[in-house]
């Protein structure tokens, strides 16, 4: 007896011909970062198996987020309000300002529930080879938040914490920021990089071990 494969692969639609709904759904999911054809197919089949109200809930959530979530004009984090909830929270420590590359980094740090200060999202890293310089980042608005650089600062920042990735671009950006921030009289620090909890020394690369040693603390 002939068996039919359960695998469906969306094929390119000929020019001038409308995509079939299932192909369109799979190709839409395939646009997501890190989602390959098989994962996109799995997502599409999952949605089709759900009750109509579940599909409508997902579609409505995407539409509402796209329409209502904006960039905070103070810190550039995503929020449905401006200024965002973190910037307006009086319980946050206004003396500490953590500088990150992207909005995803804010979510990552917030999950730790250990940092109580405020944030500033650069929107990228300095990468000359990719044509990204300081002017393409939110460095100007960062300086406007400091008490010495601005005539009317939004907060009395005492420490700027650089929480940028340990990469060539991250190191370049951190070095650039430290050079322009230190003369302004604020403390500039950088988060430590090293071994993850539960990590094995044998599997750590040389740079990770070096940073772990450099960032050691007293016991």
Q: What is the pLDDT of residues 110-158, one digit of tens each?
A: 998 889 999 999 999 999 999 999 999 999 999 998 876 444 545 567 8
pLDDT at 66 over 80: yes
- Count of Cβ atoms closer than 10 Å to residue 192 Cβ: 11
pLDDT at 1 over 60: no
How far is the CA of 193 from the CAs of 64, 176, 212, in angstroms? 37, 19, 6
Q: What is the pLDDT of residues 34-59, one digit of tens each?
A: 999 999 999 999 999 999 999 999 99
pLDDT recorded at residue 196: 76
Q: Which domains does the chain have, with CATH numbers?
A: 22-54 (1.10.8.420), 92-192 (3.40.1360.10)
Backbone angles phi, psi at 159, to 5 degrees: -140, 135
Nearest to 159 by CA among 141, 173, 169, 147: 147
What mean pLDDT is reported for the chain? 86
Nearest to 106 by CA among 161, 153, 144, 145: 161
pLDDT (average), residues 10-35: 80
Q: What is the DSSP string of 104-173?
A: HHHHHHHHHT---EEEEE-SS--BGGGTB-GGGTTHHHHHHTSTTT-SS-SS---EEEE---SSHHHHHH
pLDDT at 178 over 90: yes
pLDDT recorded at residue 210: 80
pLDDT recorded at residue 3: 43
């Amino acid at each position: 007896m002939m068996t039919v494969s359960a695998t469906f692969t969306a094929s390119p639609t000929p020019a001038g011909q409308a995509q079939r709904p299932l192909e369109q759904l799979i190709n839409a999911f395939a646009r997501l970062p890190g989602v390959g054809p098989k994962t996109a197919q799995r997502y599409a089949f999952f949605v089709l198996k759900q009750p109509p109200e579940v599909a409508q809930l997902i579609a409505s959530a995407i539409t509402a987020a796209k329409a209502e979530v904006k960039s905070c004009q103070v810190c550039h984090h995503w929020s449905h309000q401006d200024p965002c909830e973190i910037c307006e929270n009086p319980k946050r420590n206004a003396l500490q300002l953590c500088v990150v590359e992207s909005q995803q980094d804010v979510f990552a740090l917030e999950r730790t529930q250990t940092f109580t200060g405020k944030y500033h999202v650069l929107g990228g890293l300095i990468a000359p080879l990719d044509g990204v310089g300081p002017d393409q980042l939110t460095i100007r608005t960062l300086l406007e938040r400091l008490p010495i650089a601005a005539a009317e600062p939004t907060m009395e920042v005492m420490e700027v914490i650089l929480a940028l990735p340990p990469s060539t671009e991250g190191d370049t950006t951190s070095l650039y920021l430290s050079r322009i921030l230190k003369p302004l009289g604020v403390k500039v620090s950088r988060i430590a990089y090293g071994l993850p909890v539960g990590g094995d020394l044998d599997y750590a690369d040389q740079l990770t071990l070096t940073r772990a040693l450099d960032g050691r603390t007293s016991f």
